[in-house]
Structures are given as structure tokens and as C-alpha cells.
Amino acid sequence: MRSVRYRHLISIPMLALATTAGAQSSDDGLVDLATQAAARLAVIQTPGSGPRRDLTLADAIARALERNLDIAVERLNPQVVDLTLAQALSAYRPTFDTTFSNNSRTTPSQTQLDGGQTTVSDTVVFNSGISQAVQWGGGSYQVNFNNNRSSSTSFFNSFNPGYRSTFQLSYTQPLLRGFKIDSTRQQIQVTRINRDIADIDLRQTMTNTVSSVRNAYWDLVYATQTLAVQRQALELAETLVRDNEARVEIGTMAPIDIVQARSEAAARRQTLAQAEQNLATAELVLKQLIVGGTDDEYWAATLNPVDLPTLDVQPIDLEAAIRTALDDRTDIARSRRQLDINNVNLSSMRNNRLPAVDVIANYQLVGQGGTRFVRSGLGGAVLDEIPGGIGDAFNQLFDAAFPVWTVQLNVSYPIGQSAADAAYARARIQVQQVQAQLRQLGLQVATEVTNAVLQIQGITRRIEASIAARELAEEQLAAEQSKFGAGMSTNFFVVQAQRDLATAQDTELRAILDQQKALVEFDRVQRTSLSQAGISIVQ
């Protein structure tokens, strides 16, 4: 029944537009119900020079999700965080390095051990290696393969030219500090959580945008119907002016009595102009939410909202709504993820308090090759020349002819309370504050949901009262027009009844709009907050 009543209001019944002159009965002022139904479906042209576009609420929401620029901007944030995560993970990718150099040195002799009056040494170096940090355990390894070729005019060299190859493997493993977490892994964990937060923020933006679209759509419906109400009020006032002018012409009314009717008509024109401006503004607000730029076809179009609100409100389970809000609200979800960041940071601070105990293991192989000179003594005559090359050095490497290995344990621990101890103690207190903030946020959410339900219940009672008031105002206007036609009333009472009807119609429209917005708000407060508020981050 409420839905039918609202459609009756949307039709804007044109009460008593016909003349109320003497022989006309009081019922002649009422428009036929069929005419009211046609008027209900009539489309009111909104200001604008573009093509007319019928727009449903579902279409408006779909266009906003696809084209809204705020959503388009927010959709880029997860991609930015993905790239930040990729940058952090790159710390665990292997790094390959290589070096090539050619050096020649000529030095004068200073002692007999220099091997000649002038020594010329040529060295060619080719080194390569790979290093990588290991994500599990916080260790790192390094593999080096170094080669050089050296030749010299010194007669002390046993290999000339000589080749030397070295293979070295080194691994460093922290046992306490840095084993479970370090700064790099902390950054990666925090970035992954921030990726979830970016998705939550996107969902919040989309939810708030949809709520804004729904509110803007109902504002446009209200502005459209308000314009119709003001047009009806102006038509009633102008009808009264024409009726009074006819009465003056036939001598049944004094000319001075027309002034009040004309004054009322002028006031109604001003109100109508304001309603047209409000309609244009409401249309612009909705366009801003559903278009992707001024080149969008809907930007220059005239929007015609075709959906009408219904007054049928389903019973609300407040406890279920609060549970839904606590489970689904984006600010709650965001705060929980921020609490996870705090736990990661706290774990890192706890780890920094541990002693630095690192095990370093090295394993090295050396190979030597080249043309070998066998001399009779130190710097003596060459007895034999054994040809060779770099292959000899490689063979010695593969045979592990000259292995060298080292295992080293490094321990470091500050004496007394360190900066890490103080930071950890402070962070623990901050985490307790954050947990209290999260409980406070839960209470705030429950309050917002409860308040939204109270608003809906209060507005429902307002609508019932406003419908009754509008129906009485219609009856009062019909009665005053009938009495005026019979000469038993005056312009003043007719004008007053017209004003009362326009006010009652606007009050009913406003109550219905408030109910739609209250329902939108009730849906929003179960899903998100208006701002991206969250708990503080422990640093």
C-alpha cells in the first residue's frame, strides 16, 4: 500500500485546474484517476541541450564502476604495490659479475732478487662469479671462478707464462639474529600485507562510490519530482489568477482581489526557477560520478531517472547487521592487516635484540699451469723446459689437488641495554595501544550500524505522517476551491490551501528521499567507512 501511495505522489495530482466558477461542482476540480496515472508516467525534461537518456539505478551503478575516475585511480594502487613487492623480491635474485683486465708493468731493479736489471710483467685477469641471498634462513652464498695469465722477464719465475685458476665457494648462515627475519624479509612481508590493504582500499572506494551514486540518483529523482510539484503549484496559482480575472470581468469580484493571486503566482515562478536550478545541479553531481570525462556521451545528455523508490522496508535484524559489519567492514579489515604489519615489525625488533651468531664456511681449490722452467738453483741455468698451459690449471682444479677450507664462527652482542631493547619495549606498548584502538573501532562500527537502523525506523514514521498530511492537504484544497466557487471562501484561504499542499508534497518527497538515503547508509556502514581510517603502524 505504501508503494501505491508513493506512486500517487509521483503522479502529482493536478487538483482543481479547471475553473471553479459558480455552476461547476466541487468534484470537477479533481483530475480523473486515469489522467493521474498518465501524469505519473510522464517524463519531465531536465535542463540540458543534449540527447535524452533514460537511466536506471542499476545502469548508473554499472557505469560508475566502469568509468568513475576515483575508482580508476584506486585500481592503479594494487599494481604499484605489486611492483614494489617485485622490487623487494629482487634482493633474492642471483647476481652474476665478471671482470676482465690486462696490465703491463715495467719496474727497475732494486735488488738482485728482482731477476734482472729491468723487469717487465704482463698480467691478464679474467674473473667471474655469482652471488645470491637466500630467503629461507637469511643466509647468502658466493661462488667465484678467477683466472689470470702472467708473464715476466724475471729469471726467477718457475712458470713463464704462468696460469693460475681459483674456484671459491663461500656460505654465510646466521644462527640467531637474522635467521627468522631480517630487514629485507620484513619489507617483503609488509609489502605483501600492503597489497591486501590496497585491495581493501579499492573495495572501499568502490563501495563508497556506489553509495554516492545511489544517493545522487535519488537526489535527482527528488529534484525531478520537486520540479513537478512546483509546476503544479504554479499551474494552480495561474488558474486562480485566470479565474479571478474572469470574475472581475463579469463584476463579481473587485479588481483589488486579483493582487493576492498574482503575487502568489509570482512567488511560485521564483520557486520553480530554484527547483530547475536544483535539478540541474543534482544532474551534474550524478554525471560526475558515472562519466569518465567530458567526452563521455552521458556528459552532454539529459538524464531521466526512471526508477522510483519503494516504501516497503524489510524487517532489519540489528544483531546480524552488526556481525556483518564487524566481519566485512573495510576499515576493520584494514586495521586488522595493519595490526599484522605491527606484528611483523615487532617480530623484527625482537629479532634485533638477539646476538649476532654467524657461521661462515669457505672452500677453495687452486690450480697452477703454464710453461715450467727447471733451474739448477735459485736463478740458475735452465736445465729443462716443460711445456704446459691453462689446461694444467683446470685439471688441478677438477682433481681438487690443492683444497683449502675454513669454518668460522662470529659472535657479536652489545653489553648492557641496546637501542634494539628500548625500541622493542616501546613497540610492545604501542601494540597494546593498537589492540585497544581496534576494540574501539569495533564499538564505533556497532554504533554506526545501530544509528543507521534508528534513522530508518524514525524516517518510516515520518513518511506515514507526511502521507497523511499530504492527503489532508489535498482534501483541504478541494474543499476551499469548492467553497470559493460557491462564494463561501476567499482568495486568501485558497492560496493558503495551495501553499499547504505544495509544502505537504515537498515534505513527503523529502521524507521518502531521506528514507532512500538512510537505506543506502545502512548498506554502506555494513561494508565500509567514509575514510581510510586505520590503526597506527608501529615503526
- For residues 96-106, give the mean pLDDT: 90
Asked whether residue 44 carries a pLDDT value surpassing 50, the answer given is no
pLDDT at 113: 58
The β-bridge relationship of strands 382-386 and 356-375 is antiparallel
CB-based contacts of 227: which residues, under 8 Å, 6+ apart? 44, 272, 275, 276, 278, 279
| Residue 228 contacts residue 305 (beta carbons within 8 Å) | no
Q: Worst-scoring range by mean pLDDT, 12-21, 95-104, 496-505?
A: 12-21
Give the CA distances from residue 59 to residues 40, 53, 186, 280, 295, in Å, rounded to whole numbers and listed in that order.
Answer: 22, 11, 45, 20, 19
> Tell me: the pLDDT tens digits for 154-193?
766 777 888 899 999 999 999 999 999 999 999 999 999 9
Give the CA distances from residue 381 to residues 85, 155, 388, 444, in Å, rounded to whole numbers and listed in that order.
Answer: 67, 9, 20, 97
Of 317, 311, 309, the closest CA to residue 461 belongs to: 311
DSSP state of 160: E
pTM of the predicted model, to two decimals? 0.76
φ, ψ at 101 (rounded to 5°): -145, 155
Confidence of residue 253 (pLDDT cuts 50, 70, 90): confident
Half-sphere exposure for 201 (CA within 13 Å, toward CB):
22
pLDDT at 397: 87
Asked whether residue 56 carries a pLDDT value surpassing 80, the answer given is yes
Place of cell 529534484: 223
| Residue 99 contacts residue 129 (beta carbons within 8 Å) | no
Q: What is the Cα–Cα distance from 494 to 472, expressed in whole angstroms?
A: 14
Higher-pLDDT residue of 417, 441: 441
Name the grid cell of 179: 635467521
Q: Which amino acid, 276?
A: E
Burial of 210 (0-12, 13-18, 19+ CB in 10 A): buried
| Residue 282 contacts residue 216 (beta carbons within 8 Å) | yes
The domain limits of the chain are 2-82+186-343+427-525, 97-182+355-415
Asked whether residue 353 carries a pLDDT value surpassing 60, the answer given is yes
Asked whether residue 447 carries a pLDDT value surpassing 90, the answer given is yes
CB-based contacts of 202: which residues, under 8 Å, 6+ apart? 71, 74, 75, 77, 78
Q: What is the Cα–Cα distance from 279 to 286, expressed in whole angstroms?
A: 11
User: Does the bond joining 161 to the residue before it have cis omega, within 30 degrees of 0?
Assistant: yes
> Tell me: the pLDDT tens digits for 190-242?
999 999 999 999 999 999 999 999 999 999 999 998 898 889 889 888 888 88
Asked whether residue 13 carries a pLDDT value surpassing 50, the answer given is no
The percent of residues above 90 in pLDDT, for the chain, comes to 42
pLDDT at 524: 92
Q: What is the Cα–Cα distance from 498 to 271, expressed in whole angstroms?
A: 14
Average per-residue pLDDT for the chain:
83
Which helix (H) or strand (E) segment holds residue 372: the answer is strand 356-375
Give the CA distances from residue 435 to residues 316, 378, 431, in Å, rounded to whole numbers and listed in that order.
Answer: 30, 80, 6
| Residue 458 contacts residue 517 (beta carbons within 8 Å) | no
The percent of residues above 70 in pLDDT, for the chain, comes to 84
pLDDT at 122: 87
Q: Worst-scoring range by mean pLDDT, 209-213, 370-374, 390-394, 492-496?
A: 370-374
Q: Which of these CATH numbers, 2.60.120.260, 1.20.1600.10, 3.40.50.300, 3.20.20.20, describes 2-82+186-343+427-525?
A: 1.20.1600.10
Q: What is the Cα–Cα distance from 491 to 247, expressed in whole angstroms?
A: 12
- For residues 24-41, give the mean pLDDT: 34
Asked whether residue 310 carries a pLDDT value surpassing 90, the answer given is no
CB-based contacts of 431: which residues, under 8 Å, 6+ apart? 339, 342, 343, 346, 538
